[in-house]
Structure 1
Amino acid sequence: MNNLATLLTEAARADGGRVAIRQEETVLTYARLNDTAARIATLLQTKGVRPGDRVALAMPNVTYFPVAYYGILRAGGVVVPMNPLLKAREMAFTLRDSQSRIMLAFPLCADEAAKAAAETGVECLITDPAAFDALLEATEPMVEVADRTENDTAVILYTSGTTGTPKGAELTHRNLMSNAATAAETLLCVGPNDVLFGGLPLFHAFGQTCALNAAVAAGATLTLQPRFDPAKALKSMHQDGVTVFVGVPTMYTALLQAGIPDGHDLSPLRVACSGGASLPVEVLHAFEREFNVTVLEGYGLSETSPVAAFNSPDRPRKAGSIGLPVRGVELRLVADDGTAVGPGEVGEIAIRGENVMKGYWNRPDATAEAVRDGWFHSGDLARTDEDGYYFIVDRKKDLIIRGGYNVYPREIEEVLYEHPAVAEAAVVGVPHEVHGEEVAAVVTLRPGAQTTADQVRDFVKQRVAAYKYPRIVTFTDALPKGATGKILKREIVVELEAPED
C-alpha cells in the first residue's frame, strides 16, 4: 500500500489511545483521528470524488485540517491546500487551475470560499463544527484505504512565485512518505513520546512534512496553533511539554523578543529546527543561549517535499550552514551553463532524489525548465566548504549587481542582525543611473531601541567591502511576510534615492 494515508492507519493500529492532535482544550487520539478521516473519505465518495480527483482544502491549523487531509488521501483524492486568508479571486484561480471537484473550507474563510466556489461551479463544504460534526456522525467510515501507486500525485502545492501566476507542484505519495520518514527518523529523531509544535501553516510543505506527517509517522503528538503568536506559542510549549520546535526565522526572532515568561518550564524542548529562509547566525546563537537548545538549520522547497539538506543531529552542526544532503537526496552546485563549480565557488543548487516533485501541474514547459536531466534547479545560490557542507549565499533572483560587482543580500543582512538595535532586516536592490543597482536596507527596530540611518549605514560600512554596504537605509514598523512568516522582498518598496557616493 503506497497511500500516504497509511501513515495514519498504521499509527492508529499501533496505539489508538495515544494523543495525535492537540489544539488548546481539543484533543484527538489516533483512533479518533483515523475514524473521523475515514468518515470524511466516505463523505467525499458520496460527493463523487474518485481516486485522482483534486480536493481543495482551505483551513488554518485547526483539528479539521489533519482530519480532512488524511480523509482526502484515504479516498484516493489529491489534496490541494490553500491559504485560508486568500481572497475569492485567488481561490478561484487555484480551483480552476487544479480542476478541483470539491472544496472543504473552514468558517474563517467561508465568505471568500463561497464566492470562489460559485464563480467556478465547485461545490464548497464549510466545516462549521456543529453541523459538520453531525454530518460526519451520520456517515459510515470508509474501511479500506484507496490503493495508490508511489508515483501517483498525493498533494498539489501552489508555489507563490516571484513572477507570473502560481504553479502547482505535484508531490507524489513516495515523495511525501519518504521525506516525512527522513525528517522523523534521521533529522528530528521523533518518537511516540515527542510533542511537536504545530505553528507552521499545514497548507505549506514545511508544516506538512516536518510537523504533521513526521509526527504521524512516529506516532507522536502535534500541538496546533492556528496563527503564530509568540506569547501563545510559549504558553503552548510550556503547557503541552513541546519537545521539538519547528519554525521559520521570523518565529525565532519573535520568540527571542518575547522572552521566556516567569514560571514557564521549557526544559522538555530538546531540538529546534529552522527552515523556509536563512536563519541569521546572530539569531541562532541568541536563541540557543536563551532557550538552552540546539538549533538545526535545513533547506528545502515546495518542489522537493520540502527537505533537501539538513544539519543532522549525529554530525557536527555548522552555524550558518544548511548542512548536508538528506537521505535519498543528492545536491550539486552548477554555473549558468550547467557545469559543476568547485568548493568555495558560488553556484546554483540542483537537487535530485526521491523528494523531487513529479512536475508542475499542467505546466510541461515550466517543468522542463525547472527539471533538467533529472535535476531540479532551485534558483538558490550556495557554496560548499572543505567538509561538503552547503552555505546559502542568496536567491539567484535576489542577487544585486552594483557597478559590476555581485552583492549577496544575505551577507549584508547577517551584519545588520549584529546591530544591537535591529530586530529584522531585508536587503534589496533598487535601480541606479550610475551603478545599475544600489544596495538598500529596510529594517525594524527592537522594542525601545533607537538609532539613525547614518549609524546603521556606518555600522555595516565598517564590516564589509565599500561596494557592499547599503547606501539607503529606511525603517519600517513591520516587514511584509507570507503565510509561513517568510519576508517577502518582492513587496518591499524603497522610495528614497541613493546618494551619489
Structure 2
Amino acid sequence: MPLSMAAVLSEPAARRPHHPALVFEGREISYAHLWHRARQYAAVLAGHGIRPGDRVALLLANTPHFPMAYFGALAAGAVVVPVHALLKAGEIEYVLRDSGARLLVCSGSFLGEGGRAAEAAGVAVLSVSADEEPEAARLDVLAEQAVPVDHYVPREPADTAVVLYTSGTTGRPKGAMLTHLNLTMNIGVTLLAPFGFGPDDVLLCPLPLFHTFGQICGMGVCFRAGATMVLMPSFDAAVAVELMARRPGMVLMCVPTMYIALLDAAEHRSGPGRPRLDRAYSGGSALPVRILEEVQEVFGCPVYEGYGLTETSPVVAYNQPGLPRRPGTVGWPVWGVDVAIAAADTEGRIVCLPAGEVGEIVVRGHNVMAGYLGRPEATAEVVVDGWLRTGDLGVLDEDGCLSLVDRKKDMVVRGGYNVYPREVEEVLSRHPAVAEVAVVGVPHPTHGEEVCAVVRAAPGAARDPAGAADLGARIVDWSRQRLGAYKYPRRVEFVDSFPLGPSGKVLKRELVARLAG
C-alpha cells in the first residue's frame, strides 16, 4: 500500500488551500502556493535526472525554500538528506559521498562551502536565493517556469524518506534511515499527544529545519495539522520575544539553551505588550527545572519536556496534556512506542531491569529507524533483540514515567563512584550566580576523574580573576551542602558562552578538550 511523507503537505493544501502555511519575515504563504511551488521543484528535479529512490541533499537556510525543496524532493520520490548548515566543505563532502547523493540543493549563502564540497564529491548543484551570477543553476528560478508535477510519486511504507546524519559524537557521523512509515506515524501520533496541534494553532519555530526537532516535530506536525508556522531565519531571542508580544497565544518549540536566552531577552525588554504563549515544548537536552518554572511564569504557559533521538524519528516520550506534568522527567512513551530500562553493561542482548533501577534506555516501536545507511555492523550494535539501544541512562518509575539520568558516555566515574552530570547540573542551576552550567569529568591522578562545573555566570557576578576564583570557591561550598561527598564539583571554570551543536546541545567533549589543553 503506497505511503508518502509528501502527503503531509499535499493534504492540507487540498483541505484548506488559502490558509497560511508559513509566515516568513512578515509574508504569508498559503498551503496551496507552498504545495504548488514544491511540485514545481519536483518537476525541475525530475528534469535533472532525479528518479524515485535517488538521494537529494539539502544545504539550506531557514527560508521557505527549505519546505519547497524538502517536499519537492519527496514528491519526486527522492530521499531527502538534510545537511547541517554550519559544516565546512570537507564535512559536507563526507555527507555527500557517504549518502550517495545525486544532487545538492544549496542556499546561495552556503555555495562557498557547499559548492567546493559538491565539486570534490562529483555531485551536481542547484542553488536557491543566489547572487545575480551564481556558480550553479538556480532551482528557484527554473521552478518559476516549470509545469508542476500532478501528484507525488507513490512510495512504500518501508522505503526510506529521509536520511538524517547523527552529530557524530563518536567517530564519523552516521546516516539514520527514516522510512515514510517512521515519519508519518511519528508525526500523526505526536500531533495528538503531546503536541495537540489543531488547524488554528500558530507555531513559532526558531529551530533549524535541517535538524530533526524543527523538521519533524515543528514543520511536519504543523503542516500535518494544517496549522501555521512562523519561521525564523535564525534564533534571535529578542526578536522571538517581540513576535510573542505581537502575536500572543503561539506555540513554541525550543531547546534549553534557547529558553535561557529567551528569559534574558524578556527581562531586558521594554516594548509594549507582554510576550505570552499558549504552550511550550522542550527537547534536545535536559531542561533544568528552575528554567522550566521561570518560562512558565514569564510567558504564562505550561511547559512540556520530552525525549527523542534522530534514530527514533524522533519522539520517544513526552510530558503530555491530559496527564500530570512531572517537571524533571520526560514523561510517558508516546502511543505505539515501548520503552524499557536495560542493563547498560550487558552486550549483545537486552536484559530489562525493574522499575526504579538506573540503566540504558531502550526503545522499540514504529519510530525506530530502518538502520544506519551502509553500516550493517553499526546497526547491529544498536538494534538488539528488536530494541534500539539509545546510549542514554534513565529510570522508569512504577507509573511508567521516564526520567533521564545522563548520556552513558557523559557519566563521570570519581573514585569508583558513578556521578551523573545532569543531577549535579540540576542542583547548580539553582545557585543565584549561575546562569547556565555544564558538568564534565576531567582527568585526576588519584580519583581517575574529577567533577568539574563549567559555568556561565549570571549578570552581576564577579568575573575578574580574583572575583572568579572567589565565586568558584563559593559555588563549591554551596554545592557541598547539597550534594553527596563524591558528587559535588571540586573544580569550577567560567566561560562567556558554550560550544553548541546543531540542536543547541552543549558540546561537552569540546569543553573537556579545552580543560585538558
Which range, TM-score by smaller chain?
Answer: over 0.9
Aligned to 1:117: 118
> Which residue among 156, 167, 181 is the counterpart of 1:149?
156
Stretch of structure 1 that moved more, 360-369 or 384-393: 384-393
Aligned to 1:165: 172
| 8 A Cα contact 1:195 1:241, kept in partner | no
State the 1:494 CA deviation: 6.5
| Alignment-mate amino acid for residue 264 of structure 1 | G
Aligned to 1:192: 199
State the 1:7 CA deviation: 1.3
Aligned to 1:252: 259
Q: Give distance in 2, aligned partners of 1:161 and 1:471.
A: 30
Q: Give distance in 1, aligned partners of 2:235 and 2:284.
A: 15
| Alignment-mate amino acid for residue 509 of structure 2 | R
Q: Give distance in 2, aligned partners of 1:206 and 1:308.
A: 12
Q: Give distance in 2, aligned partners of 1:205 and 1:148.
A: 21
Aligned to 1:45: 46
| 8 A Cα contact 2:127 2:140, kept in partner | no
- Aligned sequence identity (%): 49
State the 1:28 CA deviation: 1.1
In 2 relative to 1, CA 288–146 (structure 1 residues): closer, same or farther, beyond 3 Å?
Answer: same
State the 1:385 CA deviation: 2.0
State the 1:339 CA deviation: 1.5
Aligned to 1:140: 147
Aligned to 1:229: 236
Question: Are 1:292 and 2:295 matched, yes or no?
Answer: no
| 8 A Cα contact 1:42 1:142, kept in partner | yes
Question: Are 1:416 and 2:428 matched, yes or no?
Answer: yes
State the 1:496 CA deviation: 6.4
C-alpha offsets along residues 138-190 of structure 1, whole Å, 9 cap, x if unaligned?
A: 11101121010011000000001211100000000111111111221121111
Q: Give distance in 2, aligned partners of 1:495 and 1:35.
A: 49
Question: Are 1:327 and 2:328 matched, yes or no?
Answer: no
Question: Are 1:454 and 2:473 matched, yes or no?
Answer: yes
Q: Unaligned stretches of 5+ in structure 1?
A: none
DSSP 3-state at the match of 1:492: helix
Aligned to 2:135: none
| Alignment-mate amino acid for residue 311 of structure 1 | N
Aligned to 2:400: 388
Stretch of structure 1 that moved more, 12-21 or 180-189: 180-189
Q: Give distance in 1, aligned partners of 2:153 and 2:454.
A: 50
| Alignment-mate amino acid for residue 280 of structure 2 | A
In 2 relative to 1, CA 233–496 (structure 1 residues): closer, same or farther, beyond 3 Å?
Answer: closer
- How high is the TM-score relative to the length of structure 1? 0.97
- State the Cα RMSD in Å: 1.4
| 8 A Cα contact 1:102 1:123, kept in partner | yes
In 2 relative to 1, CA 174–368 (structure 1 residues): closer, same or farther, beyond 3 Å?
Answer: same
Q: Give distance in 2, aligned partners of 1:195 and 1:120.
A: 40
C-alpha offsets along residues 172-209 of structure 1, whole Å, 9 cap, x if unaligned?
A: 01111111112211211111111111111111111111
Q: Give distance in 1, aligned partners of 2:256 and 2:166.
A: 19
Q: Give distance in 1, aligned partners of 2:303 and 2:197.
A: 15
In 2 relative to 1, CA 287–64 (structure 1 residues): closer, same or farther, beyond 3 Å?
Answer: same
Question: Are 1:64 and 2:83 matched, yes or no?
Answer: no
Give the length in aligned residue pairs: 496
Aligned to 2:465: none
| Alignment-mate amino acid for residue 137 of structure 1 | E
State the 1:240 CA deviation: 4.2
Aligned to 2:415: 403
Q: Give distance in 2, aligned partners of 1:353 and 1:406.
A: 31
Q: Give distance in 2, aligned partners of 1:414 and 1:183.
A: 27
| Alignment-mate amino acid for residue 492 of structure 2 | V
Aligned to 1:180: 187
| Alignment-mate amino acid for residue 368 of structure 1 | A
